[in-house]
Structure 1
Amino acid sequence: MSLRRKKTVACPKCNKESDYLFWESLNGDLDPEAKTQLIDGTFFQFKCPYCGHECKVDYGMLYHDMAHQTMIYYVSENSVEEIQKMFSDKDGESGFLIPGYRKRIVTNQNALREKAIIFENELDDRVVELIKLLYLLDVQDKFPEVNIVEAYFLVLEGKYIIELIGEKFLKAEIPLDLYKSIENNFAERLAAEEENQFMIDAKWANEFLKK
């Protein structure tokens, strides 16, 4: 089930207060409209009913995708260790002991959206992170002045897209064959990876390739 509650927030522009719906957890199968908003990037959007100012509200939450057997917890950096312990619980006391589920932890809204997109399209986020790292290293080598700080994966009209954010905004289409090639080339090593790896990100990709 999904858990949500209304809270009062103050508009950062006009300072007037209004109600905003906070989701403690979102079950994408039971709330498809909210799931669509998460995937299209509008889920955390706030529009002031008084002055019309738009911004994003930042808060942690759990996203549950039953169809693809996935749980993604968006938390602050300070809460990562706590959620890792909950996800690792083997006694079932935390409520997260669900056989066959992929459990992930992210620490920003873009990463939450990215994971939701990846699993919605039945892809392996580990393969995606390896591809992102390849693109990032290539851009850093060819265009060091761009100073890329973030890279995100999207699926638009069936095409795999990578967005690189830095001094300049770069965007490129990832060939479907590249995904399949990386998936096949690393299949044996990925299969041997430990199950309890909840932070699949650039750091994970770097460490994986160094093994």
Structure 2
Amino acid sequence: MSEITKQKIPCPKCGKLIDIDVWDSIDIPYEMEQKEKVLHNTFFKQTCPECQFSFPLAYKCLYNDMEQKYLIWLAPRLEEEEKAEIAEYNDKLKTDNRLRLAQGGYTYRVVRNDNELREKVLIFDEGLDDRYIETMKLVYVPAFKKNIAKDSKILGLYFDKKSSGEGYQWVLIFDNKPPVIADINMDIYEDMKEKLKDLVEEKTGEGFVQISAPWAMDIMTSRIDGTKPQAQ
């Protein structure tokens, strides 16, 4: 079960020290309330009681869905210490038979922020494969860049479910304007699965892996070049 510790941090606006709860993990199905907070982008949101300023504060945390069998390691900094922890866990998966048996069939991912965590949870809840979602983004990004103002920068592109519950959409986050919504053509997803399956499987290493834009770009570059990728 999750361990929760109390910490004090300064409010980035007024400087007052505020108390926060830091969770080492979110264990599903035991903490469904926390899952809902993750999906609504409120789990890592803090509010200063002095000035009422609200701000996101992501920290190292493990999201463990024991029903759907996936583990997501949130590592905001992903510095040498965290990389070493991840590498150590991956090595343990290869050598510890008890761990391999207990977590057989699990999918392992590394994410850097709360938006990425939310996106992965949504994707897996929908029974989709995040590797093809990530490669599919590369098809859409050039068109998005053509249609945005020159003084705007895309900070993030995230998969989302439509509020109607029918179909999916992209959410584009910008540096200087509100988010923009765009429909997703899932035929492209199915096409990616058919054409990239072997390459994607070869490129997906064992244990925790970061399936992100650079990973997807490497997949597409390898396909264009006709080179055989090395699993990371």
Change over 3 Å in CA distance of 1:25–1:94 after alignment to 2: farther
Corresponding residue for residue 86 of structure 1: 89
Deviation at 1:129, TM superposition (A): 0.2
Q: Please, what is the CA RMSD of the aligned residues? A: 2.6
Change over 3 Å in CA distance of 1:144–1:203 after alignment to 2: farther
Change over 3 Å in CA distance of 1:117–1:5 after alignment to 2: same
Which 5+ residue runs of structure 1 have no aligned equivalent?
none
With normalisation by structure 2, the TM-score equals 0.79
Deviation at 1:107, TM superposition (A): 1.7
- Counterpart selection for 1:199 from 202, 205, 210: 210
Instruction: Note the alpha carbon deviations across 1:168-190, whole angstroms, 9 max, x for none.
Output: 54320113333333323333443
Deviation at 1:41, TM superposition (A): 0.8
Instruction: Detail structure 1 runs of 4+ shifted over 6 Å in the superposition.
Output: none
Distance 1:10 1:193 in 2: 42
Q: 1:74·1:108 contact (CA, 8 Å) conserved in 2?
A: yes
AA aligned opposite 2:115 = N
Distance 2:204 2:12 in 1: 44
AA aligned opposite 1:77 = L
Q: Does 1:156 align with 2:162?
A: yes
Change over 3 Å in CA distance of 1:144–1:209 after alignment to 2: farther
Q: Size of the alignment, in residue pairs?
A: 211
With normalisation by structure 1, the TM-score equals 0.86
Deviation at 1:93, TM superposition (A): 8.9
Q: 2:120·2:130 contact (CA, 8 Å) conserved in 1?
A: yes
- Counterpart selection for 2:141 from 136, 142, 159: 136
Residues 10-19 or 31-40, more deviating: 10-19
Corresponding residue for residue 65 of structure 1: 65
Deviation at 1:27, TM superposition (A): 0.7
Identity over aligned pairs, percent: 31
Q: 1:164·1:171 contact (CA, 8 Å) conserved in 2?
A: yes
Corresponding residue for residue 208 of structure 1: 219
Q: 1:84·1:198 contact (CA, 8 Å) conserved in 2?
A: no
Change over 3 Å in CA distance of 1:50–1:143 after alignment to 2: closer
Corresponding residue for residue 116 of structure 2: 111
AA aligned opposite 2:127 = E
